Amino acid sequence: MDGPDVGWYIVVAAMLFGIGALGVMMRRSPLIVLLSLELMLNAANLTLIAFARQQGNLDGQIFALAVMAVAAAEVAIGLGLIVAMGRRRMLLDVDQASALRG
């Protein structure tokens, strides 16, 4: 394999996952929380594809495609929730949306 070893890709994926996790935990805008979630999913995808290359096994790429489909579903639901929040004139702030808190 030309270029960097698979371990380098894993390090990039781990850093990307950390950045995404930071965004999910720190940001208040639900839109940016969703975008950070996408970052984490993509980091997982990169790991799957890197290990698929390492093992010479196509299953990892199939899994990554399934993750992409589930991510698209998650975005559809998440954006639906955000639009519903917007329609009800709620403040777009995940710290304020606490009506279900026990």
d(C-alpha 30, C-alpha 90), whole Å: 12
C-beta closer to another protein: residue 80 or 99: 80
Distance separating alpha carbons of residues 51 and 102, to the nearest angstrom: 41
Map the footprint of another protein across residues 46-75, applying CB under 8 A.
46, 49-50, 52-59, 61-62, 64-66, 68-75
Do residues 52 and 9 make contact, with C-beta atoms less than 8 angstroms apart?
A: no
Q: Does 97 bind another protein (CB under 8 A)?
A: no
Residue of 89, 99, 100, 102 that binds another protein (CB under 8 A): 89
Name the token pair of 87: 């329609």
The verdict on 101 binding another protein (CB under 8 A) reads: no
- Kindly state whether residue 100 participates in binding another protein, applying the rule CB under 8 A: no
Count interface residues toward another protein (CB under 8 A): 77
From the list 54, 98, 99, 41, the residue with the least C-alpha distance to 33 is: 41
Among 3, 98, 100, 102, binds another protein (CB under 8 A): 3
- Look at the block and give the residue holding tokens 């899994």: 63
| Through-space distance between the first and last CA atoms of the chain, rounded to whole angstroms | 53
Report the site for another protein in 16-45 (rule: CB under 8 A).
16-23, 25-32, 34-36, 38-39, 42, 45
